[in-house]
A and B are shown apart, each in its own frame.
Chain A
Amino acid sequence: MVEAGDFGTSPDDVQFRFRDDEPVDHGTVTVDSALEQTNANAVRIEPGDDARLLLPFLDRLALVEINFPAFTDGRGYSAARILREAGYAGELRAVGDVLIDQLSHMRRCGFDSFAPDKRLDEEDAKRAFATWEKVYQHAADTALTGRATIAQRRHGEGA
């Protein structure tokens, strides 16, 4: 029986999702709890948590929420990339103070699901996700999709 937590967002809170599979239907546990319980499959990372603590259990995680209590606190971007770099393939959800102008950077860092505290304008969000036609630097998106960076394009590498 999967350990369900009291924390976190539910599928109803998710406003944007870029996955085909079914979202997890229960809440998340904290990182501390996840380390203790061997069957939790949904975890919530707070800004002060070390995402690498989850590395031994990535295979059993279907959902990792990363909380942005204030949009100015950028620790979640590093946490997201670290998880993707470690091969985490489950849902990576940005929650909290998620505003239009952070969406594209979050997507680039590997988030594929978004549950902002305040629902966002759909049109503005669509435009925001399409911000980066080309990108300078390597990030989770270039790794996951094989999308070429500008430097790679200049030298005939990558798609």
Chain B
Amino acid sequence: MYAYDQYDQQMVDARVAEFRDQARRRLEGKLTEDQFKPLRLMNGLYLQLHAYMLRVAIPYGTLNSRQMTMLGDIADRYDRGYGHFTTRQNIQYNWIKLEDAADILADLATVEMHATQTSGNCIRNISSDHFAGAAHDEVVDPRPYAELLRQWSSFHPEFSYLPRKFKICVIASEKDRAAMRLHDIGIRIIERDGELGAQFFVGGGMGRTPMIAPMVRDFVALDQLVTYAEACLRVYNRYGRRDNKYKARIKILVHELGAEEYTRQVEEEFAHLLEQGVEPPFAELERIRTFFTDPPFEDDAKSVERSDPDFAVWVDRNTHRHKHDAYVSAVISLKPVGGIPGDATGEQMRLMARLAKQYSFDEIRVMHTQNVVLPHVRIADLPALWAELHEAGLGAPNMDTIEDIIACPGLDYCSLANARSIPLAQRISERFDKSGKTGKLGELKLKISGCINACGHHHAGHIGILGVDKKGKENYQLSLGGSEAEDVSLAKITGPGFDEDGVIEAVEKVTDLYLAQRTEGERFIDTYRRLGMEPFKEALYG
């Protein structure tokens, strides 16, 4: 993975010093909260429901054991012993003091980490496929391109006061494991006639008005990647709406102009910028690529003894095919039945760090589904790994099942929320575990958002749940048929909402209908697409 050189290190060190000064000026009253707010947001520091919340960047979801250990230490030293892995591959801490924030950033800087641009109207963490560099079906490892764009977007002088936040995703496979089409800019690296290039999709997003990003360019040469991105951003900075916070994302601009006109403006700007020397020297991309070469894989057993049924289930559900036939990628579940999705204690983080060092060439990934991946595990090591995970409560064999719920922090933690999402996730996973239906249901992506901002990605859920405020009481809308994968689609609301008990019953009803109606090999989403909404509506509302 990428390692800082002196320039990267100087940059984070200088930013820590700058923030320390800004925080001091705030505490001394030289800055009002209105003046300080955009500055602290640029360093990922929110004022949230219970305290300050710090969102630490995990670039394209990749980190090593040293970094994960530090994240665990920060949880213990500065917070209340735990952190939350987010739907953008970052981690957030909920109980931060402003007076500690600069020290935390300084600690992070010692392990090449930061909290820059994880909030605010700027370019955010660039996300990627959590199996990048390991997956058997990728054209190339997408992360060098994500790293190139990360540096380009960091402290960009023109794009620090955008109309709204900006999220970029880079993948390199046909399969979309990172919800690429639901980003402001989604990039897919492809191969065409023996040459690598980038497909650009612009204008996706969730929130109030979910949209799937249309393709804007089908092939950008890799030595023009930054220039093309800059063109897309400049058109947005100039013409994105600033009159209404809820219409300020680029998806609204693309929608209102039309993809064709937006594309035309980008192409014009791109042609102009090509003459300005914006692109870094190609040698820089080549340099970054050298950090992403394969670890020293060894030929070994291609299968493992599966007589233990619990182990077998875990292998079937939680491991993913690797490009090397003696390895797999293993998913560490942060969704224990009845647990809080995505939370991990400091101790668990240090354990994951050790396991990564021991079993995965010291590499870890954070999934946007709030689980953690050890990307390169020898198949022969799986029994030992699983035994440790199982003992530590990190071995739930539920990846992509109904128990693998994505849930935003919701009203328990977030001041934007209308309803609590975590208790719902807990009750649903408990219910389906108890009834034994989890396995029968197979792949079922259930996503819960506590408000319309959709941080739980409910628009992209096979089953989606949205928390709303109904006359001061928590209420939940159910939606069906969303997908974040390459078969991307947006979920549709079933009808009137439910209270907490009601929505759990509703989930039971729609899954029962699926079990009764499915044909061979159909997932929930397939059956829904075949039958349409009507039978589900009938089952819910009679």
What count of chain B residues pass the 8 Å CB interface test?
A: 39
Contact code string A87-117 (vs B, CB < 8 Å = 1, else 0): 0000000000001011011101100000000
> CA–CA, A151 to B151, complex, Å?
9
B158 engages A77 (CB within 8 Å): yes
Neighbour of B237 across the interface among A77, A99, A121, A152, CB < 8 A: A77
Whether A78 is near chain B, meaning CB under 8 Å from some CB there, is: yes
Does B157 contact A136, Cβ atoms closer than 8 Å? no
- Given known pairs A131-B18, A153-B7, A155-B283, the reply for A137 and B161 (CB within 8 Å) is no
Chain A residues with CB under 8 Å of B121's CB are 72, 74
Q: Interface 1/0s, chain A 104-140, versus B by CB < 8 A?
A: 1110110000000000010000010001111111110
Known contacts A104-B157, A136-B11; A157 and B151 CB within 8 A of each other: no
B152 touches A136 (CB 8 A): yes
B6 to chain A, nearest CB (A): 9
* Contact between A77 and B18, CB atoms less than 8 A apart: no
Smallest CB–CB gap between A94 and chain B, Å?
A: 12
Contact A78–B237 (Cβ < 8 Å)? yes
Min CB distance, A149 to chain B, in Å? 7
Q: A150 near B: Cβ within 8 Å? A: yes
Docked CA distance A136–B151 (Å)? 6
Cα separation A159 to B518 with both chains bound (whole Å): 67
Bound together, the chains give a CA A110 to CA B277 distance in angstroms of 16
Chain B residues whose C-beta falls within 8 Å of the C-beta of A104 in the assembled complex: 157
Which of B22, B272, B276, B287 contacts A143 (CB under 8 A)? Answer: B276
Instruction: Confirm or deny: A71 has a beta carbon within 8 angstroms of a beta carbon on chain B.
Output: yes
What chain A residues lie within 8 Å of B151 (beta carbons)?
136-137, 150-151
How far, in angstroms, from A24 to B17 measured CA to CA in the complex? 38
Q: Is B532 an interface residue (CB 8 A)?
A: no
Which residue, B151, B158, B284, has most C-beta atoms of chain A within 10 A? B158
For B160, the chain A residues whose CB sits under 8 A away are: 74, 77, 105
Instruction: Chain A residues near B226: list those with CB within 8 A.
Output: 137
- How big is chain A's contact interface, by range? 35 or more
**Which residues of B are found within 8 Å of A44, using beta-carbon distances?**
none
A75 contacts partner chain B, Cβ-Cβ < 8 Å: yes
Q: Given A81-B158, A137-B152, A137-B156, does the pair A151, B18 have CB atoms closer than 8 Å?
A: no
Closest chain-B Cβ to A100's Cβ sits at a distance in Å of: 9
Give the chain A neighbours of B39 by CB distance below 8 A.
101
In the bound assembly, the distance between CA atoms of A147 and B225 in angstroms comes to: 22
User: Nearest B residue to A71 by beta-carbon distance?
Assistant: B161
B14 within 8 A of A: yes
How far, in whole Å, are A79 and B281 apart by their CA atoms in the complex? 26
Quote the shortest CB–CB distance from B335 to chain A (angstroms). Answer: 37
B539 at interface, CB cutoff 8 A: no
> Could you tell me if A133 and B14 are in contact, using CB atoms closer than 8 angstroms?
yes
Residues on B with beta carbons closer than 8 Å to the beta carbon of A139? 157-158
By a CB distance below 8 angstroms, the chain A residues around B10 are 133-134
Q: Are A138 and B278 in contact (CB under 8 A)?
A: yes
Chain B residue at minimum C-beta to C-beta distance from A85: B276
Check: B238 CB closer than 8 A to any chain A CB.
yes
Assess the A78–B234 pair: CB atoms within 8 A: yes
Digit string of B269-299 for contact with A (CB within 8 Å is 1, else 0)?
0001000111011011001000000000000
Say yes or no for B162: interface residue by CB 8 A criterion: yes
Determine whether the beta carbon of B158 is less than 8 Å from that of A109.
yes
Give, as a whole number of angstroms, the nearest-CB distance from A110 to chain B.
Answer: 9
CA gap between A79 and B161 in the complex, in Å: 13
Say yes or no: B276 contacts A136, CB within 8 Å. no
Please tell me if the beta carbons of A74 and B159 are within 8 angstroms of each other in the complex: yes
Residue of A whose beta carbon sits closest to that of B226: A137
Complex contacts, B18 vs chain A, CB 8 Å: 131
**Chain B contacts for A133, CB-based, 8 A:** 10, 14
A138 to B230 Cα, complex, angstroms:
11
B470, chain A: closest CB distance, angstroms: 33
Q: Which residue of A lies closest to B8 (CB)?
A: A150
Smallest CB–CB gap between A62 and chain B, Å? 24
* B238 in contact with A154 (CB, 8 Å): no
Contact among A101, A105, A137 for B22, CB-based, below 8 A: A101
B162-197 Cβ-contact flags toward A at 8 Å (1 or 0):
100000000000000000000000000000000000
User: What is the CB-to-nearest-CB distance from A146 to chain B, in angstroms, rounded to a whole number?
Assistant: 11
User: Is B38 an interface residue when CB atoms closer than 8 A count as contact?
Assistant: yes
Considering the chains assembled together, what is the distance between the CA atoms of A3 and B384 in angstroms? 82
Q: Which of B155, B280, B281 contacts A132 (CB 8 A)?
A: B155
- Report if B242 contacts A (CB, 8 A): yes
Q: CB-CB < 8 A to B519: which residues of A?
A: none
In angstroms, Cα B13 to Cα A134, docked, is 12
The distance in angstroms between the C-alpha atoms of A154 and B242, with both chains bound, is: 38
Query: Does B161 contact A72, Cβ atoms closer than 8 Å?
Result: yes
Q: Output the nearest chain A residue to B233 by Cβ-Cβ distance.
A: A78
A-facing residues in B210-245 (Cβ within 8 Å): 226, 234, 237-238, 242
Given A131-B18, A133-B10, are A74 and B161 also a contact pair (CB < 8 Å)? yes
Q: Which residues of B contact A72 (CB under 8 A)?
A: 38, 121, 161
> Which residues of A sit under 8 angstroms from B272, Cβ to Cβ?
85
Whether the pair A74, B162 counts as a contact (CB closer than 8 A) is yes
- Residues of B near A13 (CB, < 8 A) are none
- Is residue A73 within 8 Å, beta carbon to beta carbon, of the partner chain? yes
Task: Return the chain B residue nearest A75 by Cβ.
Answer: B238
Q: A74-B161, A133-B10, A153-B7 are in contact. List 19 more A-B contacts (CB 8 A).
A: A47-B242, A77-B161, A78-B158, A78-B234, A81-B158, A101-B39, A105-B158, A131-B14, A136-B11, A136-B154, A136-B156, A138-B277, A143-B277, A150-B8, A151-B151, A151-B281, A154-B5, A154-B7, A154-B283
27 contacts between A and B (CB under 8 A): A71-B38, A74-B158, A74-B162, A77-B160, A101-B35, A101-B38, A101-B39, A106-B157, A108-B157, A109-B157, A121-B30, A133-B10, A134-B10, A134-B11, A135-B155, A136-B11, A136-B156, A138-B277, A143-B277, A151-B151, A151-B280, A151-B281, A153-B7, A154-B7, A154-B284, A154-B287, A155-B284
**Which 9 A/B pairs are nearest by Cβ-Cβ distance?**
A74-B161, A108-B157, A151-B280, A105-B157, A151-B284, A150-B7, A155-B283, A77-B158, A136-B151
